[in-house]
Amino acid sequence: MSDILAFDLGASSGRAILGKLVNGKITTEELHRFPNDPVQVGDRLYWDLLRLYHEIKQGLLKAKHNGAELSSIGIDSWAVDYGFIAEDGSLLGNPLHYRDRATEGKMEQLFAEIPAEEIFARTGIQFLTFNTIYQLYARKQNQSPELGAAAHFLMIPDLLRYFLTGEKYNEFSNATTTQLYNPTTRQWDAELIARLGLPVEWFGEVLEPGALAGRLQPSVQEELGVGPIPVYAVAEHDTGSAVVAVPALEKSFAYLSCGTWSLLGTEIDQPIINEEAQRLNFTNEGGFGGTFRLLKNIMGLWILQECRREWEREGKSYSFPELVGLAGEAKSFASFINPDDPSFLAPGDMPERVKDYCVRTGQAVPEQPGEIIRCILESLAFTYRNVLELTERISGQTFSGLHMVGGGIHNTLLCQWTANALGKPVWAGPAEGSALGNLAVQWIAQGEIQDIWEARRIIRDSFPVTDYKPEDVAAWDDAYRRFLQVTGSSSN
């Protein structure tokens, strides 16, 4: 038996999870949890990367003080964001947050230089305004001084691994999200990068999940009083790790990684890059074992979280269970939003934006917190149905139900309403999907677990899965048709 440590960094918090594999069962212990708050400086929004690195070191210290004998470490986080390392090895500035406004309008400007069809054909990645390619394009246009001093491009987990090990590697699942990686050639797209006017040399060797990425360097060992612990590249996009942990028993399955973002799709062996996938804005992100995640991003519980923050700023404090309870008491199917409307992307007064959307679309305007939250949650459930149906069509598969993983499964109302909207069962669990997938890849790399399917079986045996059966299907079907009409969501 050996101890391993997963650092799972989300858009609002991070955690250090200690994992043990004993007699074919996984046990986990949360050793350290910490906030991950963006920092606004003037009109720029940054990640506090050095604070995250400090918290990772605190997690390592807590593991040591707990008596853990770590055989390895892995880090996963959100995608698309990055930083630069100078020739002398120093970090060049704080990484920008993907919700920073610097990329507004940049996607359309780039399309005038490189057609969207060509970008999708080369990368298979959906068009989101904050993708790395548009962040870099904006910096090039703004003549960012960091570009002149940069020698290496590293994404968030790559940077944190570099601080720990001194080794500069990129990782496959995160690299694919940049819209600069060619999934067909399995390399950075050198021509696309050059056409952006960026040095191809910035973009380094890409490691597959499960590859050894280095060991804790001597300075870290001395500071923390630990040994040269191996650091593995896991599926470092947290959704990639979450999909590893989906407790599916059959090869054809659909998943929803539910948290600040919702990501819904299926696992495929080869990317699907065609006109229909582009038109419906699906993506092909890298996964474990050379697989791809055919999926769509959905704005997710971010909208609810921002509503709660706004009410707190107004002096009205609600817990998440209280808000869910109020939603359950509100009138059903009164109004809907498209969660992916651009008005919901940036931080701000989200309750007012929900109301404005309903005014713009000629609907009843929700006023009370319960009405607003019900509008959000019902709209998410209907969006999940819409995206699941589109996933079936593009992939040529039919799914008997939906696996939900991630912290969003604590919202039992959303799980049940999703089953109602789908007219299919929802299997919810585990909640710590990304951390478990991170741990699983480390065990596979060490030979403790044979492959991803054994990992999924062990996870299913180790953690409860709640089965939600659909209810009131006729009423939800009728409301779904109204949702599609009101929001203009594509059903074909």
Residue 215, strand partner residues: 230
| E strand or H helix that includes residue 241 | helix 238-244
Give the burial string for 152-176 (b: 16+ CB within 10 Å, else e).
bbbbbbbbbbbbbbebbbbbbbbbb
Strand extents, DSSP E, 23-79: 25-35, 39-41, 44-46, 70-76
DSSP category for residue 250: S
The 3-state DSSP class for residue 147 equals helix
292 by DSSP, 3-state: which?
strand
Q: Is 341 one of the catalytic residues?
A: no
Q: Which two three-digit tokens encode residue 327?
A: 């939603």
Q: Which of 100, 238, 340, 341 is catalytic?
A: 238
Cβ neighbours for 481, distance < 8 A, ≥ 6 positions apart: none
Tell me the C-alpha to C-alpha distance, in Å, between residue 217 and each of 2, 41, 126, 214, 228.
Answer: 21, 33, 37, 8, 7
In angstroms, the Cα distances linking 306 to 189, 311, 316, 374 are: 36, 9, 13, 15
Residue 346: how many other CB atoms lie within 10 Å: 14
d(CA 17, CA 438): 10
> Do 91 and 49 meet the contact criterion of CB atoms below 8 Å apart?
yes
Cα of 435 vs its chain's centroid, Å: 12
Q: Which amino acid is residue 234, in one-letter code? A: V
Label residues 451-468 b or e (16+ Cβ within 10 Å = b).
Answer: ebeebbebbbebbeeeeb
Owner of token pair 């804790």: 216
10 Å Cβ neighbour count for 78? 25
- DSSP labels, 325-354: HHHHHSPTTS----TT-GGGTSSS-HHHHH
The residues carrying an active-site annotation are 238
